[in-house]
Amino acid sequence: DIAELRRLDVAHHLPAQADWAEIEKLGGSRIITHAEGCTIVDGDGHRILDGMAGLWCVNVGYGREELVEAAAAQMRELPFYNTFFKTATPPTVTLAAKIAQLTGGRLPHIFFNASGSEANDTVFRMVRHYWKLKGEPKRTVFISRWNAYHGSTVAGVSLGGMKAMHAQGDLPIPGVEHVRQPYFYGEGQGMTEEEFCDACVAAIEDKILEVGPENCAAFIGEPVQGAGGVIIPPKGYWPKVEAVVRKYGLLLVADEVICGFGRTGKMWGHETMGFTPDLMPMAKGLSSGYLPISATAVASHVVDVLKTGGDFVHGFTYSGHPVAAAVALKNIEIIEREGLVERTGSITGPHLAKALATLDDHPLVGETRSIGLLGAVEIVADKETRARFGGAEGTAGPMARDACIANGLMVRGIRDSLVMCPPLVIATEQIDEMVAIIRKSLDEVMPKLRA
């Protein structure tokens, strides 16, 4: 029973990225028992519209029998085999070829891992190994951005730009430098979008020159920062970043863990943003979260160099897991058959943008923004000055999030914003429902925030 599960949760379970003392005070985690389509259901029978697609991942929605069948069939045939012994399995190889095709042939070599963090660890080691083999062993430094999220492993946290994560574990490890994020609403006051864009790009060039181009290995970024607050860069940002990165010969890494598989209205975030990476970690939408699997797609000019180095002594037990690969293949088949990428680009994405814009007149809303089915609502104390509640960032988002959840919508509160990332199968009526719940929740928290 649910009360007993909550008791066991407090006694024995340490949930991810959580304040365990707070969960203990709440009497345990909310137990999610089942889900269908875009709706999750908890142990008390509350139905909650899932505005977060689980954790930015359940792109095809819940309850897909085809994925269940694909997993069961593969488990019967071959539940596991590794890729360490000059071995591979049919779904692993077929999935690699499928992903290569989805990159338009630009990144045709696929290394499998189980999580987005691991996909970035693979990037980290591949890139440094590449430069050694190229005869430029000093090129070790990664340039990343503040508030980037690249995972929770030591390399993932280091590449990421979350100061709270750095503080726990004395990270980043040496060889990672951070520059400002392209957060126009938060940091661009008094500038045009173009001026702000150029300042952000100049910060990257300045950092490269400070470190010394001969020491720089790669620039890494999410096409649109997700966990950093759905930071949609100003127009022209990525092509300009790409030009600077190419000028100094760094490799360019697009972390597509959230943006990949249609989230921004095209298959890849880098297509939406107009640049071409050399390496590309992906996860989440690859299997719609039904099983853990991730991949690092790599360009031929990088792999050609890596092939001169003998064994690449890197890999995981679950690299290319056949059951996860079979599920990913079926998931991609669904995405293609149902036209979910095109639907996001031309129907649901524009609908979300329009629906969010109806919140612009709300006294607490400083800005709404979205791209595809990735959106944010900025909460401010003063629309004119963009002042935050309590002076510092971070009060309003979590408070509004809790109100949304109580009102039947799962969203995330990041600093002073609400962010959302619904399944790509969401109906336009459900988008309207999401926005109505956000409005109602903002109305409810307004007196508390202003008290």
Residues that bind ligand PLP (CB under 6 A): 56, 115-117, 120, 149-152, 222, 226-227, 255, 257-258, 283
- 226 versus 229: smaller Cβ distance to ligand PLP: 226
Closest separation between CB of residue 118 and ligand PLP, Å? 7
Closest separation between CB of residue 301 and ligand PLP, Å? 24
Q: Which residue is nearest to ligand PLP (CB)?
A: 116
| CA–CA dist 171, 117 (Å, integer) | 15
- 9 versus 255: smaller Cβ distance to ligand PLP: 255
- 254 versus 355: smaller Cβ distance to ligand PLP: 254
Closest separation between CB of residue 2 and ligand PLP, Å? 27
Closest separation between CB of residue 16 and ligand PLP, Å? 8
| CA–CA dist 204, 237 (Å, integer) | 11
Contacts of 284 (CB under 8 A, 6+ apart): 55, 56, 57, 59, 116, 257, 258, 260, 261
**The CA-based dihedral angle spanning residues 270, 274, 278, 284, taken in that order and rounded to the nearest 10 degrees:** 0
Helix (H, G, I), strand (E, B) or coil at 217: strand
- 258 versus 403: smaller Cβ distance to ligand PLP: 258
| CA–CA dist 184, 50 (Å, integer) | 28
- 149 versus 184: smaller Cβ distance to ligand PLP: 149
Closest separation between CB of residue 151 and ligand PLP, Å? 4
Contacts of 78 (CB under 8 A, 6+ apart): 89, 322
Closest separation between CB of residue 271 and ligand PLP, Å? 16
On whether the CB atoms of residues 312 and 306 are closer than 8 A, the answer is yes
**The CA-based dihedral angle spanning residues 243, 245, 247, 249, taken in that order and rounded to the nearest 10 degrees:** -140
- 14 versus 392: smaller Cβ distance to ligand PLP: 14
- 140 versus 296: smaller Cβ distance to ligand PLP: 296
CB-neighbour burial class of residue 313 (10 A; exposed 0-12, middle 13-18, buried 19+) = exposed
| CA–CA dist 411, 441 (Å, integer) | 11
Among 65, 102, 51, CA closest to 268:
102
Q: How far is CA 386 from CA 36, 200, 215, 331, 416, in A?
A: 39, 20, 39, 42, 11
Closest separation between CB of residue 446 and ligand PLP, Å? 30
Q: How far is CA 184 from CA 144, 192, 229, 383, in A?
A: 18, 9, 12, 15
Closest separation between CB of residue 55 and ligand PLP, Å? 6
- 227 versus 327: smaller Cβ distance to ligand PLP: 227
- 220 versus 356: smaller Cβ distance to ligand PLP: 220
| CA–CA dist 52, 423 (Å, integer) | 7
Closest separation between CB of residue 56 and ligand PLP, Å? 6
- Which secondary-structure segment (H or E) carries 127? helix 116-133
